[in-house]
Amino acid sequence: MEKTNQTLLYAFEGFEKDLSEELSLGKARILEQQGRLFVVENLLARPVWAQACGYNAVRATPKSITESVKVLRDLGGKWACASQTRHRRSQLIQEQAYRPRPPQEIEFLGEVPTARWGLWALLDDQTLIASAETDSIFPLGEVRIKESEAPPSRAYMKLWELFTLHGIKPPPKSRTIDLGSSPGGWTWVLAEMGCQVLAVDKAPLAPHVAKNPLVKSLKKDAFKLVPTETGPIDWLFSDLICYPPKLFDLVGVWREAGVKNFVCTLKFQGRSDFESMARFLEIPGSWIVHLCANRHEVTWVCLEKGKN
Ligand SMILES: C[S@@+](CC[C@H](N)C(=O)[O-])C[C@H]1O[C@@H](n2cnc3c(N)ncnc32)[C@H](O)[C@@H]1O
């Protein structure tokens, strides 16, 4: 077994090119790529487009399935297989090293497991690569939160994931604004958490969300709304469909008006807009995450108290 300082990355499905570009921009060296699996060196920051990330990978050249199983068992812990090749052999190793169990779902705002899932893969018949030092509390970083049928859109899953797994939560009674709120998934989550919500969209909210006494809706173009019309806002949420530079300007208006906490989706068309991501990250207290519930978009968070 050889210890390395290589990192194993498992890209979000369909975003391999985005991860590859992100790594190049960050000057990381890609030693190998097989489908969603990347082996890299000189990684300076955790890539947004990686669903799972395993540091200080170990390489081994086991001669048999039994030897491969022994490598993983000796390293200890729970293992998830990221092999993009040698599928049958990988499956046999996985079953003997750590038998996959039915995926465990956590409740919204429920207790979050702390144990990490190791990441391993066969790169070819001879080479096994594995890292126990991952940031995955779910196998391969695939988030599983129990869903609800109450919200009117699946967009609510973005906030559920963010609030449950990233320790971010507007306290009850916070004055929030939800830009691009229709049909009301985010507004529903915020109101369920006891926040006051001003829901702004050109389209209506689902009636069962609109009738919540904590929700006020404003049928308006979010770019024409001026902060003096709304009264003080503690948290601004935006899931607006617009180009990131336009959203950046809009965020600037609300920052100038004194808003200090933001959760905004940056939506991309075609290539991911790394330039805009970098501009957003320059705002103090900011970070960006690609949630499992995000498709070709990322979530920018900016908190008055900074990152947890
Ligand atoms: C992805 S949907 C939002 C889904 C919502 N977060 C939810 O949880 O149900 C984007 C919304 O942005 C709204 N939108 C786009 N441009 C807008 C604008 N200029 N002003 C207000 N709303 C806008 C659309 O009408 C659409 O409802």
Q: Give the start-to-end residue ranges of the domains of the chain.
A: 2-141, 156-302
Cα–Cα nearest to 49, from 289, 263, 282, 270? 289
Chain-wide mean pLDDT for the chain? 96
Give residue 103's pLDDT: 72
pLDDT band at 305 (very low <50, low <70, confident <90, very high): confident
Give yes or no for residue 21 having a pLDDT over 80: yes
- Put simply, whether the predicted model's pTM sits higher than 0.85 gets the answer yes
CB atoms within 10 A of CB 236: 24
Ligand 1 near 83 CB (within 6 A): no
DSSP annotation of 31 = E
- Residue 9 tokens read as 């990355």
Interval 27-41 mean pLDDT: 98
Counting ligand 1 atoms within 8 A of each CB, the residue from 182, 226, 253, 254 with the most, and so the one to mutate, is: 182
Please determine whether the domains at 2-141 and 156-302 fall in the same fold group of CATH: no
Distance CA 69, CA 94 (A): 8
Distance CA 274, CA 278 (A): 6
Q: Which residues contact 136 (CB under 8 A, 6 or more apart)?
A: 52, 53, 54, 80, 116, 117, 119
User: Domain spanning 156-302: which CATH class is it, in words?
Assistant: alpha beta
Give yes or no for residue 308 having a pLDDT over 80: no
Classify each residue of 157-172 as buried b or exposed e, where b means 16 or more C-beta atoms within 10 Å of its C-beta: bbbbbbbbbbebebee
**pLDDT, tens digit, for every residue of 200-259?**
999 999 999 999 999 999 999 999 999 999 999 999 999 999 999 999 999 999 999 999
Give yes or no for residue 101 having a pLDDT over 90: no
Burial zone of 178 (CB within 10 Å; 0-12 exposed, 13-18 middle, 19+ buried): buried
Interval 18-33 mean pLDDT: 97
Q: Which residues contact 131 (CB under 8 A, 6 or more apart)?
A: 7, 8, 54, 55, 56, 57, 58, 118, 119, 120
**Helix segments in the chain, DSSP class H:** 16-25, 65-75, 87-97, 156-165, 185-192, 207-210, 244-256, 274-281
Interval 134-139 mean pLDDT: 95
CB atoms within 10 A of CB 68: 24
Distance CA 217, CA 203 (A): 10
Ligand 1 near 183 CB (within 6 A): yes
- Residue 96 tokens read as 């003997």
31 φ/ψ angles, rounded to the nearest 5 degrees: -85, -30
Ligand 1 near 185 CB (within 6 A): yes
Ligand 1 near 181 CB (within 6 A): yes
Give residue 15's pLDDT: 98
Cα–Cα nearest to 176, from 164, 165, 189, 166? 189
Q: What is the CATH number of domain 2-141?
A: 3.30.2130
Interval 174-187 mean pLDDT: 98
**pLDDT, tens digit, for every residue of 70-90?**
999 999 999 999 999 999 999
| 30 CA to centre of ligand 1 in angstroms | 38
Ligand 1 near 151 CB (within 6 A): no
Angle (nearest 5°) at CA 268 between 19 and 276: 80
> DSSP letters along 95-127, please?
HHHS---PPPPB-TT-PPP-PPEEEEEESSSS-
